[in-house]
Chains A and B, each alone.
Chain A
Amino acid sequence: MCGSDRGDRLVFLEKEMSTSPDGEAIIQFQDVTKIYPLPGGDVVALDHVSLDIFYGDFIAIMGPSGSGKSTLLNLMGCLDTPTSGRLFIKGRDVSSMSDEELTGLRRDHIGFIFQQFNLIPLLSALENVQYPLILKTGERTCTARCVEVLKSMDLEEPLYSHKPSELSGGQQQRVAIARSLVNDPEILLADEPTGNLDTKTGSSIMALLKDLNEQEKKTIIMVTHDPNVARFAHRTIRIVDGKII
């Protein structure tokens, strides 16, 4: 890695995060409820959910559409905050954190992998991977780290300068995974990572995630419909109507 953490605003996060409430849980839901107020009446997306996820876990979340599995993932990723209950990420209560602190947490400790890949269309593969690193270090020079991560995703160098539209779905997802890994986060959150890929490409992506979990000890939480994909995980959480069953 080159460059140092930009500013001091994240240093305190590192300190406080070394102590988690029960030592092992990296993510802890305590009686979490999430309600979306809609004009037609409130929608309860999560209903008093309690859940512990430990360091090094590989978890699949399954459930029918609208069951609240994406909400669960979004809360873990600090993209959203609970309506009630407490959510600890690396030992810190998310509801007590400012928007800026949550942003820092996402940037340095959480990697996102989306079904739609969600690469920035105007940037090349390499620039897409570079982006989170630049957000963290404020420097543009760190290409070595990005190339290293892209290489570990089995992507060939000539592709690095391609725009996302010039890559296949599998290649785009590999770039997206490289982007999620570039800041070396402990947690990877994947929302239907194989949902837009054919079976063969899907299983190679899953092999890659399994490898990251086993070799790099990444904690992976993955939302999926597909039982074949869920088999890669250590355990599967089923959720129906906002409740874990």
Chain B
Amino acid sequence: MIFLDLALKNLKVHWLRSFLAILGIIIGVLAIASMGILGHSISLLVANVISDVGDTVIVTPHVAAGGGFVGDPRVMVNARIPESDLDVIRKAAGQNRVIPILQRAEEVTFGDDSGYVTILGLPADEITFLLKIEDGQPLRENAPGCLVGHLLAREFRLNAGSRVSFGNQSIRISGVMEERGLAADINPDYAIVVTDRVFLDMFVQEKEYNQVIVKISDISQIDQVKEGIDRQLNRKETMVDITDSRDLLRQYDEIYDQIMTFLLGIGAISLVVAAVSILNVMIISVTERIHEVGILRSIGASRREILWMFLIEAITLGIIGSGIGGVLSIVGGYFISQVAIGVMTAGTTFGENASVFGPGSMIFIVGGILFGVIVSMLSGLYPAWQASRMTPIEALRHE
């Protein structure tokens, strides 16, 4: 096609101008695709560590209710839900499973190593219900023993049969729990779990709970249960905070949407700048070739053919720029994701094996390329249309 040929020749003659326009498109596509990939990778990372479904109601003591100054960290630690309130919650929850949780941080010794670890105390049958064992035996009601979280076990090379010491006692690890991920209720991956009886014996304390979980069997009842607890316990003053795991998912979705909009917005701005540069190049190209348009019209080129001639130039710039930008964004998106996730998870084993560059990222590359080509075409459209609209005699007279 001679129009393509002429367009390419023209782009080649004005190579610096073409190169700059292409560079603009490359940067634009690179920005929008990398930002999309980054957002997608963050989403993959978080999805990897969130294991929740929306079936859990979490009741935690309202911090101000513990007495004392709210900002005092001891208030936080001291605020608990007493046994009497647990009964109220049980009543409000009806048939649904209510799991009271005891929790504290203790210094734990693993052979030569030691450190502060969260100790969770749960009723034995609830442990079986909530937590899966990947190695060893589940806890039995009366036998002393503990379960260790997946990440903790890995970090300190613990397995079933090893011993750990805390609270002045040496306890045998009866099993290692499966990785559970980030959840709204409890996060035992880095914790040690014992039965509530062992917990109370060891740390001599009142039967007061750090949180109470209600597992809802019929999701449609979730609001009803929350309202019930709220009505019973928060009648005079706010004693407990009640959330459910849907809130966590919703918050995560909202944050993800905001991050995504923000990132794509940055990309879009660069693409708009690129579009302006193509528009500029095309307006210059059309203006300095008006006389040529007159010649072509006089030897029999139609309006449509003139329109296409200039449009092909813009599309060629767009395709070359978007193609290169697309290829670069595969590399760029991968690195930006690695770096960002490296920063976000620095010092943890959190999401260590997460695949952060899934095939879903290709959508952003293909989308970025398409967007780049379309934007180039649109910015070529106006100058091309202007060139085609002129009468042959107007164009010929133009010097």
The reply on A231 being an interface residue by CB < 8 A is no
Say whether B301 contacts A103, CB under 8 Å.
yes
The reply on A193 being an interface residue by CB < 8 A is no
Say whether A80 contacts B391, CB under 8 Å.
yes
Q: Complex: how many Å from CA A179 to CA B296?
A: 11
Say whether B393 contacts A131, CB under 8 Å.
no
The reply on B40 being an interface residue by CB < 8 A is no
The reply on A107 being an interface residue by CB < 8 A is yes
Chain A interface, DSSP helix/strand/loop, else mixed: helix
Q: Can you name 30 A-B pairs with beta carbons within 8 Å?
A: A79-B297, A79-B392, A79-B396, A80-B391, A80-B393, A99-B302, A99-B303, A103-B300, A103-B302, A103-B303, A106-B297, A106-B298, A106-B299, A107-B299, A108-B300, A112-B298, A112-B299, A118-B295, A118-B396, A119-B295, A120-B6, A121-B292, A122-B6, A123-B6, A132-B299, A132-B300, A135-B300, A136-B300, A140-B2, A180-B299
Chain A contact residue count (CB 8 A cutoff): 29
Chain B interface, DSSP helix/strand/loop, else mixed: helix
- Contact A131 B302, CB 8 Å, known A120-B292, A120-B295, A122-B10: no
Chain B contact residue count (CB 8 A cutoff): 22
Q: Which of B236-275 contact A (CB under 8 A)?
A: none
- Contact A122 B9, CB 8 Å, known A79-B392, A79-B393, A131-B2: yes
Q: What is the interface of chain A, defined by CB distance below 8 A to chain B?
A: 74, 77, 79-80, 99-100, 103-104, 106-108, 112, 118-123, 127, 130-132, 134-136, 140, 179-180, 183
User: How many contacts A-B (CB < 8 Å)?
Assistant: 66
Residues of B within 8 A of A140 (CB): 1-2
Residue among B9, B391, B396 facing the most chain A CB atoms (10 A cut-off): B396
Q: Closest residue of chain A to B298, judged by CB?
A: A112
- Contact A106 B292, CB 8 Å, known A79-B392, A123-B6, A130-B2: no
Q: Complex: how many Å from CA A32 to CA B63?
A: 96
The reply on B135 being an interface residue by CB < 8 A is no
Residues of A within 8 A of B295 (CB): 118-120
B391: min CB distance to chain A, Å? 7
